[in-house]
Amino acid sequence: MSDEPAARFESTAEQYAVYRPEYDDAALDVPRERFDLDGTGRLLDLGCGTGRLGVALAPHVDEVVGVDPSEAMVEHARERARARVADASNTEWRVGSDADLPAMADELEPLRLTVMGRSFHWLAQERTLDTLHEITEPGGGVALLSDTEWLARGTADWGDAVYEVVAEFLDDPPERTGPIEYEDPWTETLADHGFEAVEQRVFEADREWDADSVVGYLLSLSFCSPAVLGDDWERFENAVRERLTGFDEPYEETATVEVIVAEA
């Protein structure tokens, strides 16, 4: 399978659309309030996936442009907008990537806000931030949203059990480390590329899972996708469900949601 993000996620789109956790209102309020989203301005959802951020913020801006390299993800974003936005005509969803951003710059300028949710680590960060800095209006900026991923970063016993199954089926699963802090925080990356008033906010979110959502979430991960599992997909699903019978539903976790905002 290709290492390109679009190829990695192409077979995960359906599970991604249904089983990835929504962003909490408290997290969404940070960029909405910081950049005075009053129904005007253009928002770019870069690496939009199935459109969670762009759709949630669409009522607060004049226009949303979502960009993702996966055609399947983009189609799910369109469906989400039609289902959840009263008038989805202010949303546009395109197949593309951060590599296309310089070519789109004249068309997108000026941007009020660019949001990137769980996508920034896939991007060419320096080039992307330099371009965004040039085409963002005064007072506008960027918002990076991410949260802990319970399979590798969680601490619950039921997560340990599920990880054991994943390790049985995959040759090189990510290490289960529990919470970690990165040496090169994105706050510094933003500041290094001209963004100012960088602010980091952290929230805790209590989440509950059942067997269906655990399996669906696993299949939404690029390294554990239906394409990666191949003919072992059904056997993998059955093994996960069997291992979870040793725990009581709902399976609980406390996730950490991080929001970083910065002005251009």
pLDDT, tens digit, for every residue of 119-160?
898 899 999 999 999 999 999 999 999 988 899 999 999 999
Domain boundaries, the chain: 5-148+179-206+255-263
Compute the radius of gyration of the chain from its Cα atoms: 19
Domain 5-148+179-206+255-263 has CATH 3.40.50.150: yes
pLDDT of residue 1: 43
pLDDT of residue 148: 87
Q: Is the dihedral of CA 217, 53, 223, 178 positive or negative?
A: negative
Q: Could you tell me the pLDDT band of residue 2, with boundaries at 50, 70 and 90?
A: very low
* Residue 182 scores a pLDDT above 70: no
Inter-helix orientation angle 157-169/211-220, to 10°: 50
Q: Specify the DSSP class assigned to residue 40.
A: -
pLDDT tens digits for range 12-49:
889 999 999 998 899 999 999 999 999 999 999 999 99
Q: Could you tell me the pLDDT band of residue 170, with boundaries at 50, 70 and 90?
A: very high
For the whole model, what pTM was predicted? Answer: 0.92
Q: What is the spatial distance between Cα 153 and Cα 89, in angstroms, rounded to a whole number?
A: 38
- Pair type for strands 196-209 and 251-263: antiparallel
With pLDDT > 90 as the criterion, what percentage of the chain qualifies? 86
